[in-house]
Amino acid sequence: MSMSASPTLARALAACLACGLSLAATAHAMAPSTVPQAVPDTLAQRLVACTSCHARVDARGNPVNDVYFPRIGGKPAGYLYNQLLNFREGRRQYPLMTYLVEHLPDPYLREIAGHFAALPPAAHAATASQVTPQVLERGRQLVFNGDASRKLPACVACHGQRLTGVEPAIPGLLGLPRDYVNAQFGAWRNKARRAHAPDCMAGITARLSFEDVAAVSGWLAAQPVPADPRPSPAASIARPLPIACGSAPEAP
């Protein structure tokens, strides 16, 4: 090596060394911290996973694609508790929900139900109807008047005149995706969804034609949600109910 090349080589080596030190410093800065992040042990934190399906946005603020899942904030606590029990005890079939609740005791299920019941309601927006005006009118008739010839009570007789549900255990029907409502009728028909005996919705579904189901779900999904979508008080509907219902007994 000639002496004239030494300064050039020295400068190159110095540049490489500086570059290596810079890369090492950058890698160290980007390396994940070895100090564990403290996570608050609260019920809300434990239930963050539920927002992946049952909220307007997930825990990171991303919109949830929940066409087939209901938003459960603000639902009656008794209704939510009954559904958790149904999943745990096999009356409702959905593997992910069963996995989540199969080992949870009753008091904890009540806590979960109370947590979501206390949240502000977050309903789905009304969707444009995909059925004819005649079908929509049939749906409206079933919702408000039922069909006495087939012993079908009006939906409002149990779910309230505003169709937002009734405390403590009757859910609202507005603000639900049409596909979700159709899927639940199908689950009752196929016995993949059941409730405490006597299972009133299973009996009602058995008397509905497929056309009736499409009419009811289409009409419900097309309705705007009231400004105050909270469930109505228990005294807002007449007792006894027009059909015996194990999930909403006469003496809650």
According to DSSP, the residues that pair with 193 across neighbouring strands are: 92
124 is in an annotated binding site: no
The reply, when asked if residue 97 is annotated as ligand binding, is yes
Question: Is 158 annotated as belonging to a binding site?
Answer: yes
CB 200 within 8 A of CB 244: yes
Cα dihedral: 155, 127, 206, 210 (round 10): 140
Write the CA distances from 96 to 10, 50, 144, 190, 240, integer angstroms. 64, 11, 35, 19, 36
Closest CA to 160 of 71, 223, 222, 241: 241
What is the end-to-end Cα distance of the chain in Å, rounded?
96
Q: Which of 231, 74, 237 is nearest to 156 (CA)?
A: 237
54 is annotated as contributing to ligand binding: yes
DSSP state at residue 76: -
Residue 238 in tokens: 């007449």
CA distance 92 to 213: 20
Angstrom distance (rounded) from CA 99 to CA 118 = 24
Task: Please name the helix (run of DSSP H) or strand (run of DSSP E) that holds residue 51, with its range, or none.
Answer: helix 51-54
Where do we find the tokens 């911290």?
33
**Torsion-angle region of 199 (φ positive above 0: left; ψ -120 to 50: alpha; else: beta):** beta
Binding residues: 50, 53-54, 97, 155, 158-159, 201
Binding residues for heme c: 50, 53-54, 97, 155, 158-159, 201
